[in-house]
Chain A
């Protein structure tokens, strides 16, 4: 069993009998050979390490406040294209995570094996009424607020008669909070009942529930006086100047208007829409993300983000009412604009499956201009980390949760899955993508933030990502020397390494948490 121990100024990770070693290609920032002496020496040292090749089970590292000075991991060099460049290596996920923290300039590419394409098989659609021999009926229910009976319109209700086969029925409540589910049986036995309000209340999960026509479902209203996981982790260390002097670009669905948000600038890059309309496009995602970073409200009437004094710029790349189909050109344009506007941090809570060259180059240019880019890993249930989080020069963030940080009947209990942390109440969210591209993990289950019309609870690596952006802004504002550094890739490297210094391993393993949870 691996034991994890990381004192603040360096330490040892013991990976005896640890996780499976994998093969990777290590590359310099561009091309196959290093174009600077430091990296050339690093690659050269890999070829000449005296004791790197046994299945070394202790990974040594030492870190200072602004730079990782040394790193020895359990690398085994299998092949080399150039002495000062590309290497085929084998190493453990823990070793890779430490290597990425120590040498953020290098690119790490997984070994890819190509298969013949297999024709996809059609899925069988199965509604509960067709799966049962009982006569079909419509099950009317009403969704209300638990505290005062207020009806809740616009809530998505999903009832599963068989959760494994995803059989059941769904619908959206009308203006009177009513919805009729097309389900058989009376009473109707549901394995699971999910209710997702649009905002204002916690989403609900009831298991093994028996529903009869006219039943009333009660949701728990969001109480801003109650700490969610984000506030639980970060409120105690907040200072009045968090984020001061730091500018953050949120490239998303637009942000605001909201009483707790001050959006300092931005642009809408969607073709055919008003370029000045960088407010929320109706989806609410960007507003939620922006609130996690920098909401300026006062609890309990409002909420505060991690860096309330930061300047937030909203760059909208999704068309009105959409959260899919954003163009690579538009996103690259937004990254370029954020850099030109002087952003220090860019938050990208968006993904695509494959690496894409146009945004890759925009991220290269952002890094060269001293801008750190923080990206959501994706919510594809343990799939490999999506792009751009997987890109060598972005910071990839997975999502963790904690049992007890949300109401007992909230949907978030369904997101608890192994691995659990050193504190067994902590878990990596079941939906979080994971892999060697994860740099850090952030709170991403049951996160309360600003939402059109009030406040909403969302889950996702989309929420964990701005938590790291916000904590990065905190870190930079608390250490003004960062802003005095030349705006180039060296600054990005130093900021990244300072995040590593502040990170706390939670015991999930590097594949799931990278260097851990960043605490500032």
Chain B
């Protein structure tokens, strides 16, 4: 199953979505005051987005990096890392 982030906006409480999540097959992986990290089927997340518009729901992605060290590299080389 994919992992999704639910982030609150405004003054809403995280508990408003927890009950809905617990009644589904979604699994809460981590929780903070403003966010939930859940493992769930995408269709369940789509349904949750409809029923809880106060949440922004987005997939968890591993896309952030330190800006690469500005070094020249050989063509095709992956050797030099920051």
Contact = CB atoms under 8 A, between A and B. Distances in A.
B74 A351 contact: no
Contacts of B47: none
Nearest to A415: B70
Contacts of A365: 34
Contact of B64 (A196, A328, A340, A415): A328
B7 interface: yes
A146 to B, nearest CB: 21
Contact of A194 (B9, B37, B62, B71): B71
A283 B67 CA distance: 13
Contacts of A168: 74
B67 A460 contact: yes
Contacts of B9: 361
Which of B61, B70, B71 counts the most A-chain CB atoms under 10 A from its CB?
B70
Interface string B1-42: 000010101000000000000000000001011110100000
A125 B75 contact: yes
Nearest to A327: B62
B66 A253 contact: yes
Majority SS at the chain B contact face:
loop
A358 B56 contact: yes
B4 to A, nearest CB: 9
B65 A351 contact: yes
A362 B5 CA distance: 12
Interface in A47-76: none
Nearest to B79: A170
Interface string B47-82: 000000000101011111111111111111101111
B74 A353 contact: no
Interface stretch (A230-238, A329-337, A470-478): A329-337
Given A125-B75, A336-B32, A459-B69, A358 B58 contact: yes
A333 B80 contact: no
A461 B73 contact: no
Residue of A165, A324, A328, A329 most packed against chain B (CB within 10 A): A329
Interface stretch (A36-44, A110-118, A155-163, A511-519): A155-163
Contacts of B79: 156, 170
Contacts of B37: 329
A156 B80 contact: yes
B66 A283 contact: yes
Nearest to A379: B67
Contacts of B62: 325-328
B30 A462 contact: no
Contacts of A331: 64
Contacts of A340: 33
B35 A333 contact: yes
A488 interface: no
B66 A349 contact: yes
Contacts of A82: none
Contacts of B76: 123-126
Interface string A165-207: 1111110000000000000000000001010100000000000
Interface of B: 5, 7, 9, 30, 32-35, 37, 56, 58, 60-77, 79-82
Interface of A: 123-127, 156, 158, 160, 163, 165-170, 192, 194, 196, 252-253, 271, 283, 285, 317-318, 323-329, 331-333, 336, 340, 349-354, 356-358, 361-362, 365, 376, 378-381, 386, 411, 414-415, 429-431, 458-462
3 closest residue pairs by CB, A with B: A431-B70, A125-B76, A326-B64
Given A285-B66, A332-B7, 15 more contacts: A156-B80, A166-B72, A166-B75, A170-B80, A192-B72, A323-B65, A331-B64, A336-B32, A349-B67, A356-B61, A357-B58, A361-B7, A365-B34, A379-B68, A429-B70
